[in-house]
Chain A
Amino acid sequence: MKNRIQQTFNDLQAKGEKALIPYIMAGDPSLEVTESLVLTLAEAGADLIELGVPFSDPIADGPVIQQAAERALKSGTTLKKILSTVRSLRTKTHVPLIFMAYYNTILTMGLENFCQQAVSAGVDGVIVPDVPPEESDELCQATKAAGGPVVIFLLAPTSTPPRRKDVIQRTHGFIYYVSLTGITGAQLPDLAQVKKNVQTIQKIGKKPVAVGFGIATPEQAHNVAQFADGVIIGSALVRNIAEHHQDPDFLSRIKTTTVNLKAALR
């Protein structure tokens, strides 16, 4: 059986659309808001949604997502509570949900336990930024035994050709291509090189490649979607949430932003 992530990319390809993948930090400012945000994003056209699991020491993240993690931890967010939120969400939406979690947060729960609970809650994929392929055997064994979630690996501009091949072979959902040599929240670089790398990866594996880091506006999303199979919007959205979550029109504001982003990918 195909997983929900693969199915989504296949459906989009059939329609000639590219995937919109927003990233939000679970529990920022609270898990109640996260739940309504996921529903709003899905309704407004998000094709898959990444949920950040807050960690005290997020080495791959810039200040915007670091601060979101701090706020989420302050609001009492834990991996267990995020899993409950997903369970509740699954009675309302089928949008594929992907966790972005630093290794220690899932290691502490126990990898098998985490995978079983994630599958039963309805989590489709997991991205662990501090687990490169070299260190992924235990995690992959656990996901295999539990029947999910799929492990989504990253490739970066620095990845060598053998590493690209290795990651492509391991991929069951999509490949997360990091647009730049750096951390989240940095400026989007010149797209010519990004395009070249993405196309190389697509050619080798015939697997969907989504591009993240530095994409903030519908125009940038549109430009990246000319060659990528999906675009990930992280820091820009997280900043929007941080600045406006207390506004009365907060959710409709996020909805408009999302509709505009999705329109740029059709």
Chain B
Amino acid sequence: MPTYPNQRGRFGQFGGMYVPETLMPAIHELDLIYQKIKRDKAFQLEFQTCLKNFVGRPTPLYFAERLTKTLGGAKIYLKREDLCHTGAHKINNTVGQALLTRRMKKKRVIAETGAGQHGVAVATVAAMFGLEAEIYMGTEDMERQSLNVFRMRLLGSKVTGVNAGSRTLKDAISEAMRDWTTNVATTHYLLGSVLGAHPYPMMIRDFQSVIGREARKQILAAEGRLPHCLVACVGGGSNSIGLFYPFVKDTKVKMVGVEAGGLGIESGKHAARFSGGKPGVLHGTMTYLLQDQDGQVNPTHSVSAGLDYPAVGPEHSFYHDTERIHYTSATDQEALAAFDLLSQTEGIIPALESAHAVAEVVKLAPTMKKNQILIMNLSGRGDKDVQQIAEMRGIPL
């Protein structure tokens, strides 16, 4: 079985390096440095040590007994990325890239953020490594996630609002790319998901694969066998590929990626790229993209800022077309119901993004046999969403 991507950053027809000439030398430099550190034992040891002592890894693989009983089907395990420092899987990647930034002797990092989780993770490693950080965030997302904006500022980062276009994650990425184009000599773009030009999708997948490697070991220790099914939410696709990738060659393990169904696929107001999108090029990569008949990128909608993006990581597009991973979606409403369910049956408040995965588990687990095992990636905790949910329910805090 060949490994992907190929040398030109392709996962089949997807991926590639579609960036302006000004950035190309930096992209190649990043590719070269990443090739080197991937095989560098000292770097990998440094990374593992940081994940252990700073992030708090390994995260538990938790048997959700009450949820399992409630749904009455498969045995449900939760991979507890919500217990990572800063509350989501995003920190795994930011630690890796911060170490890389130090190797490149760059002093400044920039990033985009949607839900604010990646922004907080960047602000955190910037503080820890003594880097200057500027984080771009759509002004609509700044409203939805004001708590995280404040956290980033507390950590010493500059948060810059982006007022262009839809004022969400996609516009924050565009603005970060413009900053990078201008300051490429001194600045590393610390991208937050398996998106963008090669080598980002590969590099971020590798950094996040710690999730799946741990989960594999943990389930073998707990059950002595591999799971039947993996479930994760898919925004850009980093927490899902992080869990899935170490199982890709285990062809008996089914994998389900859950996109944001928003107000329903029929409404057109969603971020389900595999339901309404077709291949196109955005932000440096060829991948499934929500677009109109003229190739203009469509506005998206999701209750969850972290899933509200019109494109998906190119590796996911590849696994979609080759049918290795099955993609589905959960609506805002389903995610909100799942949010309550997990909170009240397990005492775990999930991030709204992760609640989309929970919503799929609610549908899937009862159709499975009691001796079958399902692992869901609980990508983050819901503290950041509590305020938004109270507001939606008309509850003043």
Mark A residues whose CB is within 8 Å of B: 55-63, 66, 70, 73, 78-80, 102-109, 129-132, 134-135, 153-160, 163, 167, 178, 181-183, 186
Contact = CB atoms under 8 A, between A and B. Distances in A.
Given A57-B174, A108-B291, A135-B16, A182 B21 contact: no
Give the 5 A-B residue pairs with the shortest CB-CB distance, closest first: A108-B295, A182-B182, A156-B22, A104-B295, A56-B296
28 contacts: A57-B171, A57-B282, A57-B297, A58-B174, A59-B19, A59-B181, A60-B178, A79-B295, A80-B294, A104-B281, A104-B295, A105-B296, A107-B280, A107-B281, A129-B20, A130-B19, A132-B17, A134-B8, A134-B24, A158-B24, A158-B185, A159-B21, A159-B25, A167-B21, A178-B21, A181-B185, A182-B22, A183-B178
Given A63-B164, A107-B281, 14 more contacts: A57-B283, A59-B19, A61-B178, A78-B294, A104-B289, A106-B295, A129-B20, A134-B8, A153-B21, A154-B21, A156-B22, A158-B23, A158-B26, A167-B21
A66 B166 CA distance: 13
Residue of B23, B24, B283 with most chain A CB atoms under a 10 A cut-off: B24
A155 B21 contact: yes
B134 to A, nearest CB: 16
B130 interface: no
Contacts of A102: 281
Interface of B: 8, 16-26, 164-165, 170-171, 174, 177-178, 181-182, 184-185, 280-284, 289, 291, 293-297
B187 to A, nearest CB: 11
A27 to B, nearest CB: 12
B291 A104 contact: yes
A134 B184 contact: no
Contacts of A103: 18, 281
B199 to A, nearest CB: 13
Nearest to B24: A132
B280 A59 contact: no
Given A107-B280, A130-B281, A181 B184 contact: yes
Contacts of A181: 22, 181-182, 184-185
Contacts of A60: 20, 178, 181
B53 to A, nearest CB: 37
A108 B184 contact: no
Residue of B23, B178, B185 with most chain A CB atoms under a 10 A cut-off: B178
Residue of A59, A106, A132, A135 with most chain B CB atoms under a 10 A cut-off: A59
A59 to B, nearest CB: 5
A105 B295 contact: yes
Contact of B17 (A61, A70, A135): A135
Residue of A60, A66, A104, A183 with most chain B CB atoms under a 10 A cut-off: A104
Nearest to A103: B281
Given A129-B20, A163-B25, A57 B295 contact: no
A79 B24 contact: no
A160 B284 contact: no
B280 A104 contact: yes
Contacts of A58: 174
A152 to B, nearest CB: 12
Nearest to A183: B178
Nearest to B296: A56
B153 to A, nearest CB: 24
A54 to B, nearest CB: 8
Contacts of B181: 59-60, 181-183
A154 B296 contact: no
Contact of B294 (A63, A105, A160, A178): A105
Contacts of A154: 20-21
B183 to A, nearest CB: 8
B297 A130 contact: no
Given A57-B297, A158-B25, A130 B284 contact: yes
A36 to B, nearest CB: 24
A183 B164 contact: no
B294 A130 contact: no
Contacts of A178: 21-22
Given A66-B164, A163-B24, A183-B178, A107 B295 contact: yes
A182 B19 CA distance: 13
A191 to B, nearest CB: 18
Contacts of B178: 59-62, 183
A63 to B, nearest CB: 8
A186 B20 contact: no
B20 A73 contact: no
A108 B17 CA distance: 18
A104 B18 CA distance: 10
Contacts of A70: 165
B21 A132 contact: yes
A79 B177 CA distance: 25
Given A104-B280, A158-B22, A181-B184, A55 B17 contact: no
Contacts of A183: 178, 181-182
Contacts of A78: 294
Nearest to A108: B295
B257 to A, nearest CB: 23
A186 B283 CA distance: 21
B21 A156 contact: yes
A157 B10 CA distance: 27
B295 A109 contact: yes
Contacts of B170: 57
A79 B294 contact: yes
Contacts of B25: 158-160, 163
Nearest to A54: B296
A80 B16 CA distance: 27
Contacts of B282: 57, 104
A132 B297 CA distance: 21
Given A59-B178, A158-B26, A132 B295 contact: no
B21 to A, nearest CB: 4
Nearest to B278: A108
Given A79-B294, A108-B294, A130-B284, A59 B174 contact: yes
